[in-house]
Each structure stands twice: as structure tokens, then as C-alpha cells.
Structure 1
Amino acid sequence: MTDPFMGPPWQADWVQAARTYRDALPEHVRKEITNGMAELVTARNPYLPQDELPPGSYLEPARSSRPKGPHILGFDHGRGWLLCTFVRRVDDPQIIVEEIFWQ
């Protein structure tokens, strides 16, 4: 049984509204987002990197009924999250960040 190629590296693509919101956040929050995303884009299988995420971060499906659908990457010990979708392609796999929130 062969292991289908899923990555790395994944390419991170940000929806414009999410990128604008991210860029307006304080520096320490942007650093936490960058650290969490760095682990996702280098993961062989981004659906299961829990042990590879930085402390205070987590990854879970947005809906338990769709385990391979959109995912939520929580950061800053639950104070923020971003909604991302994994587009699995052999040539150019992508992680699309659709929404971001921090409080």
C-alpha cells in the first residue's frame, strides 16, 4: 500500500479579509499565528499534527461530521482561532485561511 503524497510543503493562501485582520493584530499574536501555520505547512498530513503544534495551539475539525472538511486552528491558549481548508493536490497542495479571530 502506497502513501499518497499530501505534502509538505503546503502553500498557505490567505483570503484578503483574513490577511488584513491578521496584519492589524499585535506582533506577539502574529508570531503565534506564524508558528502554528509553520507547523501546518510542513506537516506530512495536516489533519493530525496535534503533537507538532506549538504550546497553546490546537487543530480540530470545524464540524465533527466532516473530519476532512474545514478545520479550526486555535492559538494563544484559546484566545484566537483561524478557519482553514486543506486543498489536497499532488502538484500544489494548499491551506486556505478563510477567517481569523482574536480577542
Structure 2
Amino acid sequence: MSAEFTGPPWATDWTKLAAEYRDALPTRVRDLIIDAVTELKTSRHPYRDDHLDTAKISIEPARSTEPRGAHILYFDYGHGWLRYTFTHRTADPQIVIERIFWQ
């Protein structure tokens, strides 16, 4: 019997710089980020956009040559994005948000 990934919701962590930037944004934008991350955390797989509300967010690899590497999640109709990785661990898979930007 092979070990299987635990399912959503996925654990999420933020780098210090990403968390500081997020916390400095206006409340309205932080709420958009929370909605986008919640959508990502509850998705079946954090690197695919199936079963996501693509009217709110979209996902793509940061580099097309590394489809299992870092990904970009766009939110607020492309006005903001965050870069994240998904650590494939059987016992405790985790999304790590490395960088965030909003304009």
C-alpha cells in the first residue's frame, strides 16, 4: 500500500517579507488576498486551476520549463499576484507563499 497525500485544505506559510508586504496593504486588498489564498488552499491540487473560481484567480507556472516549481497566482483581475511553491510531502503537504505584489 502506497502512502497518499493528505487532501485540502493545504497548510500555508508565508515568508517574512511576503507577510510584511501583505500586512502593509490596505484592508480591501488584504481581503482579496485572503479570498485568493483560501481558494488555493482548498483546491484539489495547488498547481492546477481545475475546480478553482477562475473568474477570481488564475494560476500559471513561474517558468514554463519548471512545471512543478514555483507558480504565480493572479488575483484582483491581474492587479496583484503572489508567487508560491507547493512542497509535496505525504505527511504534511504545504503551500509556501514567497512573494506578493499588488498595484
Say yes or no: TM over 0.5: yes
What is the CA–CA distance in structure 2 between the aligned matches of 1:3 and 1:75, rounded to whole Å? 34
User: For residue 33 of structure 1, what is the aligned residue in structure 2?
Assistant: 33
User: For residue 71 of structure 1, what is the aligned residue in structure 2?
Assistant: 71
Deviation at 1:3, TM superposition (A): 9.3
- Change in Cα spacing, 1:50 to 1:102, as seen in structure 2 (3 Å) is farther
Q: Which runs of 5+ in 1 are unaligned?
A: none
Deviation at 1:55, TM superposition (A): 2.6
Letter of the 2:8 counterpart = P
User: For residue 90 of structure 2, what is the aligned residue in structure 1?
Assistant: 90
What is the CA–CA distance in structure 2 between the aligned matches of 1:38 and 1:58, rounded to whole Å? 13
1:18 matched to 2:18: yes
Aligned residues of 1:6 and 1:44 also touching (Cα < 8 A): no
Q: Which runs of 5+ in 2 are unaligned?
A: none
- Give deviations 1:48-70, integer Å, cap 9, x for gaps: 13541363321110001111110
Measured on the aligned residues, the alpha-carbon RMSD in Å equals 1.8
Aligned residues of 1:12 and 1:96 also touching (Cα < 8 A): yes
Q: Which runs of 4+ in 1 moved over 4 A?
A: none
- Change in Cα spacing, 1:80 to 1:67, as seen in structure 2 (3 Å) is same
What is the CA–CA distance in structure 2 between the aligned matches of 1:22 and 1:80, rounded to whole Å? 11
What is the CA–CA distance in structure 2 between the aligned matches of 1:84 and 1:93, rounded to whole Å? 13
Aligned residues of 1:73 and 1:82 also touching (Cα < 8 A): yes
Q: How many pairs are equivalent?
A: 102
Q: Identity rate of aligned residues, in percent?
A: 50
SS of alignment partner, residue 52 of structure 1: coil
